[in-house]
Chain A
């Protein structure tokens, strides 16, 4: 049995840890409040944008923008995955990795060569040790990501897609639904428009309504203005959702850690009291035995 002193030391160590986890919990909660608000207000705008470009993609002739048609001569697919820069956020990152691992396997099965575009230190560290091409890894940007950062990323993706480097570009991020519901989303980013599973029909057959849609100025002018913007908004939204989810996950994880600390402290205190009681009893026994012997 551990000595009284050992147990006491252990208790104070766990108490220190508890202080730490509590503080981290509060920091995460404060950050969460700030980003959650922003994310939720941005959602309506992003949703409308997403709906609008989907509609345009479905209704416009494929020739209207190079971003609507699949690039046939490339076999590569790019996955943009957003993880976190810091750890201690529960299963936040491992959920992303397991989805990403599966997605990579699926794309390989489809005969594509997947490459990764990683945001966040955790994803880079994980995939550096694996046999997969990392197209690019951005580390330490999540703390100060803003619309401009999203714009730079979107432009880069659009450029390399337009240059015919990739056949498909996918987006992987964690969506914040509520504190206890974080869902990993895996969406196709480019090309826009119907999923592959839809039957392939000529543009004229596909959109009987295409001609009814009045676009001003001409689609060739307006779509290049609208589409990159909508794509930027998609990226920005993914970043916002991801950061919000990360903070929610960290808050939960730290809450659980604080609870575990409390449990450990309780059981250690119990052990400490028992040990103390045993020591007192044995000391008393010694004294009584000594006295008995003297009287003897």
Chain B
């Protein structure tokens, strides 16, 4: 029994981006590389990198959108993407992404400077406040890195917008 169509579902924390949309093929960039799944695929689970996700609808039309990380579960007859966020290609604001990128870079530099200025001797004696501050900066570093990745993915998507087919809303 091999299905000829997928049901594609894309959900994010604040919306149902796609809900059981019929699709003939789905492709995305997993942490181990890009993949394409066709109906009847063996059950498959991976995490997603920020980047393009595309699918082909039953009429043969392709549509692309951008996700910023998440997980995907492929089953023979359905594909579920749990995305951190999802955006249509024509909704991406390149200028905003660029500003966000610069901001993230600045934050990243600040956090790195702060942590870099405290070499190993900090380990010897750290007051509780200092400890708290270090923890905060380390969190900040991780967050800034994630923000930078998101911004970069958005800018890339904005540049490649014309290259990939996407439906206008």
What residues make up the interface of A, taking CB atoms closer than 8 Å to B? 38, 41-42, 44-45, 48-49, 52, 55-56, 147, 209, 212-217, 222, 225-226
Contact = CB atoms under 8 A, between A and B. Distances in A.
Given A52-B82, A216-B32, A217-B31, A44 B16 contact: yes
Interface stretch (B37-45, B112-120, B125-133, B156-164): B37-45
B80 interface: yes
Interface string B1-23: 00000000101111110010000
B13 A42 contact: yes
B87 interface: no
A214 B14 contact: no
Contacts, number: 57
B46 interface: yes
Contacts of A55: 73
A52 B83 CA distance: 13
Contact of B82 (A41, A42, A48, A222): A48
A52 B80 contact: yes
Contacts of A45: 11-14, 82
A216 B11 contact: no
Nearest to A209: B43
A49 B44 CA distance: 15
A226 B70 CA distance: 9
Nearest to B45: A215
B30 interface: yes
12 contacts: A38-B14, A44-B16, A45-B12, A45-B14, A48-B9, A56-B45, A212-B43, A213-B43, A216-B32, A216-B44, A217-B31, A222-B47
A213 B32 contact: no
Nearest to A222: B47
Contacts of A215: 44-46
B45 A48 contact: no
A45 B46 CA distance: 17
Given A45-B12, A48-B11, A216-B46, 6 more contacts: A49-B82, A212-B42, A213-B42, A214-B44, A214-B45, A216-B32
Interface in B78-101: 80, 82
Contacts of B45: 52, 56, 213-216, 222
